[in-house]
Amino acid sequence: MQIKRRVEFLHQVHALRSLDNESIRKLETAMETVEFEKHDIIIRQAAIGNKLYIIESGEVDVYIDEELQDVVRTLCTGDYFGEKALKNIGNTATATCKAATSRLVCYMIHADQVKRMIGCDIDLIENHSGEHPGRDGKLPTRKMTVPSEALKNKIRRKSLLRWIGQLGKGGFGNVDLMKDPKSGEVYAVKRQQLSRNDDEQEYNDHELCLLSNFECDFIVKLISYFEEANFRYLLLEPCLGGELFSLLQAKQQFKTEAVTFYIGCIIEAFDYLHSEKVLYRDLKPENILVDKRGYPKLTDFGLARQIGEGERRMTFCGTLEYMAPEVRMYKSYDFGIDLWAIGILTYELLTGTTPFAGNLSETNFNYSKVPIKAKYISAEAHKFISGLLQQQPSERLGMGYSGFHELRVHPWFKGSRSVLQQHWRWEALLSGVIEAPHLPQLEGPQDLRYFTN
């Protein structure tokens, strides 16, 4: 009876749901029941790990600071930790796990036993589905909802707006700079056709739903929207500094100080998105706009999707040069694909080209080594990029318990100096006091000089 209960319990564990009955039964035979008292340290950060723990009852607090002051996550029944040992025996722990209740009961499995008993099936054990705490240490519970009527109460007809010029043109809509003569407000207006094609309409509906819920300084803000005839118009904040892609083309590549600034902002945007369980799936310089302060903001959320707990995607989408291996090989994926894309973006901003551009025609080219351009990439930058461009999603920088904190504390940022000639400070970035490496020279809210092409 005890064996049957444990097998049923293992079937309910999120990480093991992809394993068949035979593999689950093998795991059950290898499990030991272990108990801990409150404040017992089960796994210590940076220690070599060789065990997987699954919580049967009780709670575990997870810390990423050496002083064990700030709990970034609390694990409970059915959650697990120590899973990195399953991918590579001898991996070091990315966090400290401490018993949080007076009695904690766990099922413990030695990594070498797992590998010996279920072999290649180990790749089916998922790594927390990419769920990481946000900056407040809490997992998200908010579901993106349809936009409120309040967003529609400003402007009702396109004829009430005066056209200034075109900002962009894409397959799913054009973007124009337009002014409300009555209020004097200027908007970036994205026009989307209300389509009878379900796939195309779903693309537009998802973007509206997400943008109407976002509250992040590093994401383009939706101010209002309206529908008229066969079109929907999204009124967005104008970012008149142009695309980061255009700026990169003009400069060919950026200095390290500039790249740490832009990537720091992108990290903040993705930390926010992932805390809301939103997959972006299309990071590239063309989808990053520069505002009047010189700060980058993510735009174009047509491919972005909010996913449920434990949910994975299979859709082949995105830009080929930025696609993670699992996408190109038609495997299921989660938040790890965005971290891969951050690594590609970092490389492109430093060198002016993407690392695997020459292999795009191949279906199974080798991702294992990141090309080194010593002239542009320092040793720390190479470590940062390589940490993100790991073939196994679970091994990528940012996929551990500490999430995006792993990126923020990386030596590449610590060794960089901002244009304020101070050591890199995330608080200064978040408060907007760091001067951007490129300040757009704009004469006013209708200046289109960075969109002339």
How distant, in Å, are the alpha carbons of 274, 305, 326, 446 from that of 281?
Answer: 12, 8, 12, 31
Classify the C-alpha dihedral 14-20-24-27 as positive or negative. Answer: negative
Alpha helices in 352-394 (DSSP H): 379-388
Within a 10 A sphere around the Cβ of 184, how many other Cβ atoms?
8
How distant, in Å, are the alpha carbons of 23, 31, 36, 105, 165 from that of 27?
Answer: 6, 6, 21, 17, 63
Q: Residue 118: which of 86, 84, 83, 81 has the closest Cα?
A: 86
Alpha helices in 178-243 (DSSP H): 198-211
Residue 270 backbone zone (phi > 0: left; psi -120 to 50: alpha; other: beta): alpha
Q: Residue 105: which of 9, 21, 1 has the closest Cα?
A: 9
C-alpha span between 375 and 362 (Å, rounded):
27
Enumerate the β-bridge partners of residue 312.
none
C-alpha span between 193 and 200 (Å, rounded):
9
Within a 10 A sphere around the Cβ of 249, how many other Cβ atoms?
12
Determine whether 282 is an active site residue.
Answer: yes
Pull the structure tokens for residue 327.
């996408």
| 20 burial level (CB within 10 Å; 0-12, 13-18, 19+) | exposed
Q: Which of 79, 271, 282, 334 is catalytic?
A: 282
Contact by Cβ (8 Å): 186, 446? yes
> Annotated catalytic sites, by residue?
282
